[in-house]
Structure 1
Amino acid sequence: MRRRFLQCDVFSAVPTKGNGLAVVVDADGLTTAQMQDFAAWTNLAETTFLLPPTRAGADYAVRIFTPGREMPFAGHPTLGSCAAWLHCGGQPQEPGLVRQECQIGLVEIDTSGDVPAFVAPPTDVAPLAPAAQSRLMTVLGLDASQVIRTAHLNNGPVWQVLELKDAATVLAIDADRVRWPEYVGVGVVGAHAAGNDIDYEVRNLAPSSGMSEDPITGSLNAAIAHWMFAEGRLDRALVMAQGTVLGREGRVFVASAGSDVTIGGHVHVLIDGTVDL
């Protein structure tokens, strides 16, 4: 069956410098196995499939797949799927606010501004087990003086996150030292110097897609933002860079509004066509 197919670039103001996303817009009738096979074929970090909503208030439903498995939530697929749905004529029930249904529930995406932003789902913030922290530090070649704080974060995906002393330390890590599935959801973050137009550098070193490193990861940035918020450290809007070592120019815009944490980024539709699926 011929279906509408788009490919988006997410989390960069410069087309092709963000994270690619494949979107099958009218996926009704596809089986889970067909979706997984197609996601493996695209060989992108994620592929999404848009479906009629099943929950009250949702504008559409989305299923999110890496080449190897289905995800309950992911950030760049959220913004990219929303942009694809709107590009293809989707009309939200509330102007300027899209409600996307995924496995973790409804995710709200504010499309009223220059940069779309979603309300990050709740994140469970817990200490990272000492044994897990020690193992990660050893395999990444880090010593105690380079690690400021750590956390175990869960917002659908599960993250083991190390906050390092600065952005330079983050950028110097060799991502090939930790590979999925032995390591899952390893994130590192470090601050840039004051006065820089970027606040933090972020890397996802062991993505569940099986890649050596994910270019830009909305769900990881969302988890880090909730961690900062929970500790009272998210006291202003932040710009997070990701993908630098991969030649990307990822920019994730983090902010808080009341009890909500929002994650924003540019989206470009680069391919608009059909797929026989």
Structure 2
Amino acid sequence: MQYWQLDVFAERPLAGNGLAAFADARGLSASAMQALTIELRQFESIFLLPTASADCFRAHIFTAEEELPFAGHPLLGAAALLHHLHAGEQHESHWQLELREKTVPLSSQRRGSGFYTEMNQGNAEFGAVLSSQQARWLAEAFGSEHDSRHPAQVVSTGLPYVLLPVSSTGLANARQRENMQPLLDELGAAFVFLMDVDAAEGRTWDPEGVIEDIATGSAAGPVAAWRVARGLNQSGEPFSLHQGRFLRRPSQLDVQVSADGQVRVGGQVQLLARGELLLSAGQLP
């Protein structure tokens, strides 16, 4: 069984957000997918299973802790890999990736030695607006300060984030210092995404605050929808978000919100390496 290493939201190899992708994961149990993700030490891995349709695949996305109902950069990376494996020299291809709770349409294009892929995340769901006290406490939990010009709010296009505006200094110096899980559970959110609103730049971490994500496609959609709703960007006009600078992996996430609220997220993808498991599926947990 082969697996691939890709860089997503990357203008060149060894940039952007790394991803491990299994193009044909038939025979792997959920526990095996979890164990392989832990072994490969990527923020996320994606496992694809063919269906009766040549352009449709089931997809399972794992972090080291759990399977996610939705994620951004694994889906974009998977579309590039599928293009490489199944679309030959075609300039553009289209794919459907079936997750547990939604099916995501994606497009892929060859671009230089890499690919450009884009997904339609659908309409954003706007959840709870945090009180000023909640926003201030959450910012202080990161050693930061809430940018009170803008509200903190839960927004989701498949994975709910607390979008927390902070100062540029607060973003640069952010480190998780408190257990935020009780508040996240109360708000119905999975993660916190810190935003420097003026620079359109953000950061996010795993729930324990140990591993910082380099470029977060599942947060880019909610951020884009939030910015358009606030009048910071216009619907129908593409714009870019930025992440990863503090990890020395600067990444550009291209976003657009259509007039009917459909959120698109895209970026460049580079193939980096190919590996082969020396174990059969029966030898895995």
Deviations 1:13-61 (A, max 9, x none): 032121110011110111111111111111110011110237x796111
Contact 1:48 1:64 in 2 (8 A): yes
CA gap 1:90/1:149 in 2 versus in 1, 3 angstroms: same
Any unmatched runs of 5+ in structure 2?
185-189, 280-285
Deviation of the 1:153 alpha carbon: 1.6
Aligned with residue 161 of structure 2, among 159, 162, 187: 159
CA gap 1:170/1:29 in 2 versus in 1, 3 angstroms: same
Give the secondary structure class of the aligned counterpart of 1:276. coil
CA distance in structure 1 between the partners assigned to 2:147 and 2:274 by the alignment: 49
* Residue of structure 2 equivalent to 1:195: none
1:59 partner amino acid: C
Deviation of the 1:82 alpha carbon: 1.1
Contact 1:181 1:210 in 2 (8 A): no
Contact 2:139 2:166 in 1 (8 A): no
Q: Normalized against structure 1, the TM-score is what? A: 0.84
2:62 partner amino acid: F
Aligned with residue 187 of structure 1, among 190, 193, 199: 193
* Residue of structure 2 equivalent to 1:224: 223
Deviations 1:97-155 (A, max 9, x none): 22211123211112247532111233221233325323203323444555522111233
Deviation of the 1:161 alpha carbon: 1.1
2:217 partner amino acid: G
Q: Normalized against structure 2, the TM-score is what? A: 0.81
Contact 1:187 1:202 in 2 (8 A): yes
- Are residue 173 (structure 1) and residue 173 (structure 2) matched? yes
Aligned with residue 12 of structure 2, among 4, 11, 14: 14
CA gap 1:125/1:238 in 2 versus in 1, 3 angstroms: same
* Residue of structure 1 equivalent to 2:51: 53
Contact 1:82 1:98 in 2 (8 A): yes
CA gap 1:175/1:121 in 2 versus in 1, 3 angstroms: farther
Q: CA RMSD in A?
A: 2.6
CA distance in structure 2 between the partners assigned to 1:214 and 1:261 by the alignment: 21
Deviations 1:153-210 (A, max 9, x none): 2333221111235xx2353232243568676511111244xxxxxx511111x32486
Contact 1:153 1:160 in 2 (8 A): yes
* Residue of structure 1 equivalent to 2:76: 79
Contact 2:164 2:194 in 1 (8 A): yes
CA distance in structure 2 between the partners assigned to 1:241 and 1:180 by the alignment: 24
1:252 partner amino acid: L
Identity across aligned pairs (percent)? 27
CA distance in structure 2 between the partners assigned to 1:62 and 1:178 by the alignment: 33
* Residue of structure 2 equivalent to 1:239: 240
Alignment of 1:193-232 (within 5 A): 200-204=200-204, 206-208=205-207, 211-232=210-231
Any unmatched runs of 5+ in structure 1?
193-198
CA distance in structure 1 between the partners assigned to 2:258 and 2:109 by the alignment: 15
2:222 partner amino acid: A
Alignment of 1:266-277 (within 5 A): 266-277=268-279
CA distance in structure 1 between the partners assigned to 2:217 and 2:76 by the alignment: 9
Contact 1:74 1:219 in 2 (8 A): yes
